[in-house]
Each structure stands twice: as C-alpha cells, then as structure tokens.
Structure 1
Amino acid sequence: MRWDEVDFAKRLWTIPAARMKARMPHRVPLTDRALQLLADRATEHKTRLVFSSSKGKSFSDVVLTKLLRDANVASDTSGRTATAHGFRSALRDWASENGYPRDLA
C-alpha cells in the first residue's frame, strides 16, 4: 500500500492496474477503523509505503511465515509450525461457508 493510493476524503484505497494481476485497477473502501489506523500511521511515515520494513522497503514475502514461526503457531500437521501458504484460500473458503458475497471475500 502506497500513500499516494489512499484517498482519505473519498475513504478509498485504489491499487493501480499496473500492480494488479488482472491489470485492472482495484478499489477498496476504507472503514472508520482503517482510516484511523492510516491517520495514526501517517504521522510517522517516512517512505512512500504505508507499511515498510525498518529499512524503508517493502516486507519480504516470507514475513508472515516468520511471524507464525516466531510465535510457534501449530500446524494442523502434528509436530509442525503453521505457514502462510493458503491464507487467502482459507479466508475465501471461510467467507463462502459463512454466506459472505464473493466480492466481499
């Protein structure tokens, strides 16, 4: 997420087509809580990224797996630590099973 993609007045985060897999812009409405978190973060931002590493760069693709490993989150496979693989798919399955519209998921 980049600061120039966030429109506080319109309460919208717009991801440009160039950064989307389908090459279509993607718009995400922002809730009151999301806007508050962003506003709080805005006072301390030093880079174009909303959430960045301590070096001002984007997070590695393994940051969630490292978080799970560091917290020793158990996998459903005995004796293993959970990984981030499948998080998006798991959320979509849960949303579908609980009656949430596909677009919301």
Structure 2
Amino acid sequence: MGTTMLFHVHMTVQLPPDLDPTTRATLSEAEHIRAKEIQEAGKWRHLWRVAGTFQNISIFDVADPAELHDLISSLPFYPYMQIEVTALCHHPGSIRSDD
C-alpha cells in the first residue's frame, strides 16, 4: 500500500435560505449517502459536527491533495460549502503511532 496524507478539513455549509424544501431534503439525503461511502472506503477517517452550527471538522486520509479535492467536490453540498484545508503530519511528541 502506498503512502497516504492526512488532511484536517473544516467545512461550513451555507444553503440558500430560499432553497426549495424538497431540493434541500434530496440534497441532504444524497450528502449522507456519499459521506458514508467515503467513510466506508477509509478515506474520511473522522467526522465531527461543530456544535450548534452547520459545520464539521474532518480528517481525511488520502493519497494526495488531488484525491482530497475529488472526494470533497463529489459531495452534493459542495457548491454550498466554504472549505478550509490543512495538511497534517505526525508530531514527534505524539504517543500514538497509528495516525
């Protein structure tokens, strides 16, 4: 297996307030399905909601930035997201070796 890279991704979803409720529900269902697929593939390692907001903090484990972009842009909410990405590397002081 090749080397992978970890990325911290902060996603903020901003759906238009006048978005049709049926469209919103359809997008939301599709978003959950796609997020589950990416997690089950082992690429989306951690997913946390930022309490009280329509935001999440995530850790992705991917081959390179291009793969990360492809995964994030495959999310149905992608056109409505503000995204901040930070590349991560192992800290020499960490007692965990599995990250």
TM-score by length of 2: 0.25
| Higher RCO (CA-CA < 8 Å; seq separation 6+) | 2
From the CA coordinates, give the structure whose radius of gyration is larger. 1
TM-score by length of 1: 0.24
